[in-house]
């Protein structure tokens, strides 16, 4: 095979790889879950030992929290994905969830010292918020009133490279919105 053919194959391979972007939970944040679980468990045991009635109450409420934190430590979650189906956000407790490309009107990516922020505008923000339950819906609606692009996805700068994310976003958006080119 000639060098030109090899270069074309290499470029095609790069293009194929750049169609998806996966962002996993970092080891540092997973370690924070474990440390938090140990601190909560320590407070529970101290409360159980020194303050008997309060310790039992702490045991009832804090042990499930400890188990939740330990589970989150061992779970290697995909926090953010850009693929052919759309953008999937699981970066926070109140997050956007899955946003299909058919609903995405525009996006903007900007960075600061700590975060890479992806802002997404959808066709109908009220319909988008309607998919969520009450306590999840209220902060999303408030976010839509505050920002120019209502959906904000914050990714830690140390784990997310905007130079890798932006071409994937552009390629997927162009693939699903050919009229925008």
pLDDT > 80? residue 14: no
What's the angle, vertex CA 132, arms to CA 155 and CA 28, rounded to 5?
25
At residue 27, the pLDDT reads 57
Beta bridge partners of residue 155, listed in sequence order? 116
Segment holding 55, helix H or strand E: helix 52-74
Average pLDDT of the chain is 75
Top-confidence residue, 146 or 117:
117
Give the model's pLDDT for residue 69.
Answer: 73
Describe the chain by its helix, strand, coil percentages, rounded to 5: 55, 20, 25
More confident residue, 102 or 10: 102
pLDDT of residue 131: 85
Residue 45 has pLDDT above 70, yes or no: yes
pLDDT tens digits for range 155-179? 877 777 888 888 888 888 988 888 8
Burial class from Cβ neighbours inside 10 Å (0-12, 13-18, 19+) for residue 68 reads middle
Q: How confident is the model at residue 2 (pLDDT cuts 50, 70, 90)?
A: very low
Output the pTM of the full model. 0.63
What confidence tier does 26 reach under pLDDT thresholds 50, 70, 90?
low
């Amino acid at each position: 095979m000639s060098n030109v053919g090899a270069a074309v194959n290499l470029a095609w391979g790069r293009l194929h790889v750049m169609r998806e972007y996966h962002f996993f939970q970092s080891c540092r944040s997973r370690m924070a879950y474990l440390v938090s679980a140990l601190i909560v468990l320590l407070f529970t045991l101290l409360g159980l030992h020194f303050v008997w009635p309060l310790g039992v109450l702490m045991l009832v409420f804090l042990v499930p929290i400890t188990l939740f934190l330990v589970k989150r430590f061992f779970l290697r979650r995909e926090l953010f994905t850009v693929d052919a189906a759309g953008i999937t956000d699981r970066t926070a407790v109140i997050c956007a969830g899955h946003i299909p490309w058919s609903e995405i009107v525009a996006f903007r990516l900007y960075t600061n010292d700590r975060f890479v922020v992806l802002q997404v505008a959808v066709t109908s923000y009220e319909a988008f918020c309607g998919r969520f339950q009450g306590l999840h819906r209220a902060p999303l609606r408030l976010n839509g009133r505050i920002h120019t692009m209502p959906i904000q996805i914050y990714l830690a700068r140390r784990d997310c490279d905007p130079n890798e994310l932006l071409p994937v976003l552009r390629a997927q958006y162009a693939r699903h919105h050919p009229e925008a080119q």
